[in-house]
Structure 1
Amino acid sequence: MSRHSAKATHGWRLNIVRAGFVLVVAGLLWRLVDIQILNNEFLRNQGDARHLRNVPVVAHRGMILDRHGEPLAISTPVHSVWLNPQVTRADSPNLDKVANLLNVSLSGLQEKIANYGKREFVYIKRRITPALAAQVKQLKVPGVALQREYKRYYPTAEVSAHMLGFTNIDDVGQEGLELIYEPTLTGVPGLKRMIRDSRGNYVGGGEQIRAAKAGENLQISMDLRLQYLTYNALKSAVKAHQAVGGTAVIVDVKTGEVLAMANQPAFNPNNRTGLRSSDFRNRAVTDLFEPGSTVKPFTVLSGLKSGLFDEQTIINTHPGVFRVSGHSIRDFRDYGEIDLARLIQVSSNIASSKIALELDPNDLWQDFAAFGLGSPTGGYFPGEAEGHLPDPRDWRKLDRATLAYGYGLATNALQLARAYAVIGNGGVLRDITFLKQDKPMPGRRVFASDLIGKVRKMMELTVQPGGTATRAAVVNYRVAGKTGTVKKTSATGGYTESEYQSVFAGLIPASEPRLAMVVMVDSPGGDEYYGGAVAAPVFAEVMTGAMRLLNIAPDALPADHLQMAGQS
């Protein structure tokens, strides 16, 4: 081949190579334009999938406030620590320090990384303090990050625990008012688009997709001042009498609002470690008991309403024992011939039974039911027991006789307080409410006001000398009430002779009642177990403070004070 031909061939090949390079570069440029400009959506989505996340923004739970605006339940911001098993390695630097800070085992963390390798989010520890969260953040472990959450805090701790209830670790209501009003208190979570770096940590800022909506605040009917009084007095009584437990409820007679509700034993909702589900039980609404002699005013009212009895009616209780269907009904002693007022004052079982046996069973049942016994209170508290008022068609003669002094039926403390509110407000049965009200709850008249007034006046004798509840007296105020001392049922059937429930239910001031209160102390030990000795003093202690706090005018000032007031 000539020298000229070889040179031409070499040039031709070089041109082909050059052309090939040009085509490759052109192809790459075209692919680059196609990827970056014309058809960039796929790669953008792939990049976003690796680095962008829609992160929920936790909404702030609404506060629970007492009727005066005092905070009872608050959600405080905290952080939770989590890891991404796809980013965090078992041998990641400082992982052991994270474990030490959070008081978890390193082997446990490594096990989570191994077991949840396909997941991107695993909690390490929930709700840690801000100071601890800052220390974890400084360690900069790949894939370990913080998430903002809220922790519920209850400033009053065990004082109002049973009424408020509590939330779980996810801030969702589990008991009490937290559960009832979950839809109101809980907020609507927001959504934020965040960028994640190569370590798996979220970069600050982000794009808000949907703003979080905080839950609404809830103002309840509780008066925290009265709640403290009630809690402390009940706790002292249960301790002093070595009782198993106790409960106390205060209801506003005019509106139906629950102003205080306390139980013993109590629990601290801020630290529920080691507690059982039974500790959370609100005895005031879930626990039923036979109300005993506290229903005798209801029996007397039914007798007056029937027209078969009046204020002057005399009932013979001699000799202190009354036989009904082969069973003995006894009084504390032989009271002889007594009227209806004296019946309530000395708490005569015999006189009450004789009234009930004269009445039509259906009428007696209707009158007891009119007080709300055996019916829901309208408060819709979780686990509320409706109580039990036996069907009159099943009553034997003895059943009617014992019902007259509170055996054979069952109620809870809230239901009994509602019933006494009927006597306090002149014969109107109202629904109970746990929310602060601007006007009274709906109600219906169930008894004539004149009949209610007569019975209420009789009930004042219970607290006066000669009555069963002199220790319920409140200085300068008239009190209308009734004691109850109820034998407890045994596991084998029948009633025990050594265990009692001591009850007092009362109204104050009796001239125009504002508050109804029920106190029940369960199984007091020692020699004192009567309602007048165990439960009545709790009423006196609480109401002495309540009258002052609520600035309710006295209705039983001494004569010289009344004279001075008239001269001023």
Structure 2
Amino acid sequence: MRRTRGVNTRARLLAVVAVLGLGATVLIARAVDMQLLNDDFYQQQGDARFLREIEIPTSRGMITDRNGEPLAVSTPVESIWCSPLELLQHTDRLPQLAEAVDIDLDTLTQRLSERADKEFMFLRRHMNPDDADAILELGIPGVFSQREFRRYYPLGEVVAHVLGKTNIDDHGQEGLELAFEDWLSGTPGAKRVIRDRRGRIVENVDLIRAPEPGQALALSIDRRIQYLAYRELKTALTENQAASGSIVVLDVSNGEILAMVNQPSYNPNLREPGDAGSHRNRALTDVFEPGSVMKSFTIAAAIEAGKFTPDTPVPTAPGYISIAGYPIRDFKNYGTLTVSGVLSKSSNVGATKIASTLSNEHQYDMYRRFGLGQASGSGFPGESAGVLPGPNTWGPTEKATISYGYGLNTTLLQLARAYAAIGNGGRLIEPTFVKDANNPSEQIIDPELAQQMLTMLEGVTAPGGTATRANVLGYRVGGKTGTSRKAAGGGYADKKYTAVFVGLVPASQPKFVTAVVIHEPNSFDAAGALVYGGGAVAAPVFHRVMDGALRLMDVQPDNVQQWYAAAPAPTDPTAEQVPDSDPMPEAIGVPTAAASAPGATP
């Protein structure tokens, strides 16, 4: 019996040792396999805890004016973010964090609670890097920072409507920032890094994709002319107590937009939404009845048809006419005018009689050829095409009123483009915001006709014309005024007007075309009469902007004799010097309330 127990004991001991040895061998083999031969699992688990793939932010492309001056740049900033999952484990640090990021403690606690199972939440974005570092130095668990870029506009509201703006993620939302989003935005990069438990990068492991910065965009805008136009338009709105206004300056030869300004404006550097109406690029999105600036195209159609020449007499007495019971009036009885006189005096009766000799189709075709009733092709987001009713919808009244600028709608850019075609030998060019874009053009009228129109437009700014205040010393100026009543409630509002002027300078070989519109001027002259005509309100803005732009662009004068005539005569240095007072500008009459029916104003 004792031998049996001894044998059994040894056998059992050997069995236990064998089992333990086998188990140890298996464990060792497994460890060797997992840690030396096939270590992917533990590597993946370690990577999951410390290896991260992060985005490498890239800057948005710079926007410059035609001379390389920056209009929009992206600057590096830091954004503070947190891991709610980790941060909520240290609630005692929340008051300190709330104060650091300037968030109410209750608001911060609620936001964290709503995202308690998340690993990412922004706390404050686009901070000065030094301020962000100060927050990180507090050592609050689960709080980190990341590099971003913020858009900055050095000229602020001066060029706001052209550029538009970006959102907080630096993506274009309005204007050219939106139109050229793909060109400007670039492509973020990516890299793998090792982070410690506080989220700090301790090692860059691998570059997955290099960042590609956005491409720069050179605009046709000239910063100097843009500011000049902004200043003078803002001054005009103040002087005339007007509701809004716009100005467009084009290079006649290539359609490049040198300036485009609207008032009221806004500061794109501010994140607050502000007044939605101030964000519209009114020169492109808002339409209005242009008034008498349409007479140029009506007369062009009549001359092209061979029915008139610039010297053909047109009877306008007694200063009014009735078409299908609808009264059309002039400012006064001009008697018999030449076709040129119809333009310079802005006779509605004369324009109506001229249009009556044309077919609806030819009159309409001329308007369409000048780009009316269709988008200009600028590519600007939200541009309006305007409204030009088809000729089959015209009755006698519609045919007459359209001839002098009622019954259709245009944008200011459309008018500038159309008049640029007159100054460019009859070639219509698509306007562009991009420097050296080489946009397409089309010959729409005979160059000889374009020259005749340009000569007649000079008569509008000559003595006795409606736009003497548009003249620029030393330069020949051609242009056309327009004044229309504002539509309201199915009719026309009382004492609410739109004042327009479109001009070309120098008229001998036009370099610039500038269009100005002022909505609802509300100032009064010394006699207490409302001042609202295109010649009195819009033409002076043209004069001031072009007076500066011609010199900025070093355009040679083409009316040197006028310059010499205006120069002060030499004085005897021994004679007593008596200072002269500033001369009063030439008075331009404005229609009375009795003559305020549509079309009664020049």
TM-score bracket for this pair, using the shorter chain length: over 0.9
Structure 2 residue matching 1:335: 3-state secondary structure: coil
- Separation (CA, whole Å) in 1 of partners of 2:504 and 2:8: 121
Match of 1:40 in 2: 39
Equivalent of residue 502 in structure 2, options 495, 505, 509: 505
- 1:17-55 deviations in whole A, cap 9, x for unaligned? 665554444333222212102222122112212221211
Between 1:64-73 and 1:203-212, the stretch displaced more is 203-212
Partners of 1:382 and 1:264 lie apart in 2 by 19
C-alpha change, 1:236 and 1:206, in structure 2 (3 Å) is farther
Match of 2:143 in 1: 144
The whole-number CA distance in structure 1 between the counterparts of 2:563 and 2:17 is: 124
Q: Which residue of the partner structure matches residue 74 of structure 2?
A: 75
Corresponding residue of 1:474 = 472
Q: 1:11 to 1:113 in 2, by over 3 A?
A: farther
1:447 to 420, 445, 451: 445
1:390-469 to 2 correspondences below 5 Å = 390-437=389-436, 440-469=438-467
What is the aligned-residue identity percentage? 45
Distance of 1:139 and 1:560 partners within structure 2: 71
Separation in 1 of the partners of 2:183 and 2:247?
Answer: 27
Give the whole-Å Cα distance in 2 for the aligned partners of 1:485 and 1:308.
Answer: 27
**Offset at 1:489?**
0.6
Match of 1:379 in 2: 378
The answer for the alignment partner of 2:115 in structure 1 is 116
Q: 2:540 aligns with which of 537, 545, 555?
A: 537
Measured at CA, do residues 69 and 343 of structure 1 come closer, stay the same or move farther in structure 2, by a change above 3 Å? same
1:518 to 515, 518, 529: 515
Task: Report Cα offsets for 1:393-433 as digits up to 9, x if no partner.
Answer: 11011111111110111100001100010111010011111
Cα distance, 1:15 vs structure 2: 6.2
The correspondence for 2:552, drawn from 539, 549, 565, is 549
Cα 1:559–1:226 change in 2 (3 A) is closer
- What is the alpha-carbon distance in structure 2 between the residues aligned to residue 272 and residue 463 of structure 1? 45
Bigger shift: residues 136-145 or 280-289: 136-145
Residue 283 of structure 1: how far off its partner (Å):
0.2
If the length of structure 1 is used for normalisation, what is the TM-score? 0.94
How many angstroms apart in 2 are the aligned matches of 1:559 and 1:71? 38
How many Å apart are 1:561 and its aligned residue?
5.2
One-letter amino acid of the structure 1 residue matched with residue 186 of structure 2: G
Aligned partners of 2:204 and 2:52: how far apart in 1? 13
Q: Secondary structure at the match of 2:228?
A: helix
* Corresponding residue SS for 2:465: coil
2:579 corresponds in structure 1 to: none
Q: Secondary structure at the match of 1:79?
A: strand
Q: SS of the counterpart of 2:332?
A: coil
- Separation (CA, whole Å) in 1 of partners of 2:137 and 2:14: 60
Q: Residue 565 of structure 1 corresponds to which residue in structure 2? A: none
RMSD between superposed Cα atoms in Å: 2.1
Moved more, 154-163 or 126-135: 126-135
Residue in 2 aligned with 1:566?
none
Alpha-carbon spacing, 1:559–1:242, altered in 2? closer, same or farther (3 Å)? closer
Counterpart amino acid of residue 419 in structure 2: Y
Residue 106 of structure 1 deviates from its aligned partner by: 2.6
Distance 2:562 2:200 in 1: 79
Post-superposition offset of 1:380: 1.6
Greater mean alpha carbon deviation, residues 340-349 or residues 500-509: 340-349
Deviation at 1:339, TM superposition (A): 0.2
Partner Cα distance (1:559, 1:421) in 2? 25
- Once residues 450 and 89 of structure 2 are traced to their aligned partners in structure 1, the CA distance between those partners, rounded to angstroms, is 77
Structure 2: segments with no counterpart, 5+ residues: 524-529, 566-602
User: Residue type of the partner of 2:443?
Assistant: R
**Structure 1 residues 45 and 559: CA distance shift in structure 2, 3 A:** closer
Comparing 89-98 with 324-333, greater Cα deviation is found at 89-98
- Map 1:15-30 to 2 at 5 A: 22-30=21-29
1:49 correspondence with 2:52? no
SS in 2 for 1:167: coil
Match in the other structure for 1:493 = 490
Structure 2 contact 191–204 (Cα < 8 Å) conserved: no
**8 Å Cα contact 1:101/1:132 also seen in 2:** no
Q: What is the Cα deviation at residue 276 of structure 1?
A: 3.6
How far off is 1:11 after superposition? Answer: 7.5
In structure 1, the residue matched to 2:588 is none
Q: Residue 61 of structure 2 contacts residue 216 of structure 2 at CA under 8 Å; is this kept in 1?
A: yes
Q: Distance in 2 between matches of 1:259 and 1:318?
A: 43
* Residues 17 and 106 of structure 1, relative CA distance in 2, 3 Å threshold: farther
Q: Deviations over 1:465-511 (max 9, x none)?
A: 11111111100001100111110011x21112300001000001000
Displacement of 1:265: 0.2
Contact 2:263 2:278 in 1 (8 A): no
C-alpha separation in 1, matches of 2:272 and 2:514? 33
Amino acid at match of 2:167: N
Q: Would you say the 8 A contact 2:57–2:188 is kept in 1?
A: yes
Distance in 1 between residues matched to 2:421 and 2:100, nearest whole Å: 59
Relative distance call for 1:521 and 1:559 in structure 2 (3 A) is closer
Q: Deviations over 1:287-311 (max 9, x none)?
A: 0001100111111111111111112
Q: What is the CA distance between 1:12 and its match in structure 2?
A: 7.3
Aligned to 1:55, the other structure's residue is in SS state: strand
Say whether the 8 Å CA contact 2:192–2:204 is kept in structure 1: no
1:66-465 equivalent positions in 2, closer than 5 A: 66-92=65-91, 94-437=93-436, 440-465=438-463
CA contact (8 A) 1:143 1:201 kept: no
Do 2:248 and 2:259's aligned partners in 1 also have CA atoms closer than 8 Å? yes
Letter in 1 for 2:212: K
Aligned length: 560
Cα deviation, 1:324-373, whole Å, max 9, x if unaligned, reads: 11111111111001101111111111001100011111011111111100
